[in-house]
Amino acid sequence: MIVIEGINKTIGEKAILRNINLQIKQGETIGLIGPNGAGKSTVLNIISGLMKPSSGRIKIFGKQLKEHPLEIKNKIGFLSHDSFLYDHFSPLENLKFFAKLYGFEVEERKVKGLIREVGLAYFMHEPVRSFSRGMIQRLNIARALIHDPDILLLDEPHTSLDQQAIQILNRFISKMKKRGATIIMVTHDLKEAFHLCDRILFMKDGTIIDDFPVSEQKVNLIFEKYFAQVGSDEKNF
Ligand SMILES: Nc1ncnc2c1ncn2[C@@H]1O[C@H](COP(=O)(O)OP(=O)(O)OP(=O)(O)O)[C@@H](O)[C@H]1O
């Protein structure tokens, strides 16, 4: 249900993505791994519609992203490095605002429930500008999920989250998997990738160089491949 055909991305003289072809089925959880600068975040940015490819086509739910950008964007939740939150708004106001932006009227009860689930109940009405980084990350998780997206894009979601926030995030990911959402997660954390994903895509130099299902038997092989390509200085355990 996500079909990527011949995507290239060039910025200036630099080829960032080269001929990416990919089919992702509904309900799959994909781990996108590879060394720094491989083009992983760029793939997510392009699927989310935040960045346009230089050439190639993306079809989501049978529709061309280029022709139906808003309709498709409303089905996607994106947890990226950028927060997008409004400093002077409280969590409640931020989430209501984003729900509206996606074209949804969300019941206040549901918004409050989500704020509680990410552990920010006591700060429901406090402006976000007074929040710590960890609190902002928790609210960002809620922001990405407020419209019950069918597709969840996660860019290094476990990086710099505290243990409790990692548990909250993993709980949401499991819930979304159960209800058949499609998840694509960029990560350097192979343990989390094996734990959460059912398929791994390995990127290097703007191309997908490997694509395989996750299975117990293959874990060691994947570790070996990863360190052969990435080197030992980038491991994240
Ligand atoms: N807006 C931009 N302008 C110029 N170069 C860019 C831009 N965005 C990305 N790049 C370059 O494209 C390449 C791929 O970047 P990308 O962030 O997609 O890699 P990545 O695999 O996610 O890396 P990391 O693991 O370090 O986050 C990098 O060399 C990066 O410097």
- What is the end-to-end Cα distance of the chain in Å, rounded? 33
Q: What is the CA radius of gyration of the chain?
A: 18
Q: How far is CA 7 from CA 12, 53, 204, 233, in A?
A: 16, 6, 15, 30
The response to whether residue 138 sits with its C-beta less than 6 Å from ligand 1 reads no
Q: What is the pLDDT of residues 172-193, one digit of tens each?
A: 999 999 999 999 999 988 888 8
If one residue of 8, 42, 78, 233 were mutated to test the ligand 1 pocket, choosing by the most ligand atoms within 8 A of its CB, it would be 42
What are the pLDDT digits (tens) for 31-62? 999 999 999 999 999 999 999 999 999 999 99
Residue 236 has pLDDT above 50, yes or no: no
Percent of the chain topping pLDDT 70: 95
Q: For residue 211, is pLDDT > 80?
A: yes
pLDDT at 235 over 60: no
Q: How far is the CA of 14 from the centre of ligand 1 (A)?
A: 10
The amino acid that residue 5 corresponds to is: E
Q: What confidence tens digit (pLDDT) does each residue in 142-167 have?
A: 999 999 999 999 999 888 788 888 88
Mean of pLDDT values over 6-22? 96
pLDDT band per the 50, 70, 90 thresholds, residue 222: confident
- Measured in degrees and rounded to the nearest 5, phi and psi for residue 171 equal -65, -40
Q: Is pLDDT above 80 for 196?
A: yes
Q: Which pLDDT does position 188 carry in this prediction?
A: 87
Binding site membership of 39 for ligand 1 (Cβ less than 6 Å): yes
For the Cβ of 208 lying below 6 angstroms from any atom of ligand 1, the answer is no
How far is it, in rounded angstroms, from Cα 174 to Cα 164? 15
Nearest CA to ligand 1 atom 27: 36
